[in-house]
Amino acid sequence: QKEVEQNSGPLSVPEGAIASLNCTYSDRVSQSFFWYRQYSGKSPELIMSIYSNGDKEDGRFTAQLNKASQYVSLLIRDSQPSDSATYLCAVNRRNNDMRFGAGTRLTVKP
């Protein structure tokens, strides 16, 4: 079992729709969770962090965490073509031991 699992996609949504990205993790002691956006040929950019169960909203982005189910998700509302990228789920287990999922490639079609 991979430490952090994501659907590789590609996930394709029309402009203006909600994109839903999912991630599961295996280590129950994980404490902090992150979503990074990576454009092709570029390095990852932090877009959301979440530490407690529930939802966290920041603009068009909402991160959801369910520690009991070991599940993290990212919703992108009003998706724009500029949101087209690979989204990496990252889980910080302890002491900055961060593990990344393989990423989900999102395409937003105009």
Partner 1 sequence: GAVVSQHPSWVICKSGTSVKIECRSLDFQATTMFWYRQFPKQSLMLMATSNEGSKATYEQGVEKDKFLINHASLTLSTLTVTSAHPEDSSFYICSTTGTGDNEQFFGPGTRLTVL
Q: Rounded to an integer, what distance in angstroms lies between the CA atom of residue 32 and that of residue 106?
A: 23
Shortest separation between residue 92's beta carbon and partner 1, angstroms: 5
Give me the least distance between CB of 81 and partner 1, in Å please.
21
Q: x/- site string to partner 1, residues 42 to 61, per CB under 8 A? A: xxxxx--x-x----------
**Cα gap 46→88, rounded to integer Å:** 9
Give the one residue of 65, 83, 103, 108 binding partner 1; rule: CB under 8 A.
Answer: 103
- Site map 9..38 versus partner 1, x via CB under 8 A: ----------------------xx-x-x--
What is the β-pairing status of strands 11-14 and 104-109?
parallel
> What mask of x and - would describe binding to partner 1 in positions 66 to 95, judged by CB under 8 A?
----------------------x-x-x---
User: What residues line the site for partner 1 (CB under 8 A)?
Assistant: 31-32, 34, 36, 41-46, 49, 51, 88, 90, 92, 96, 98-103
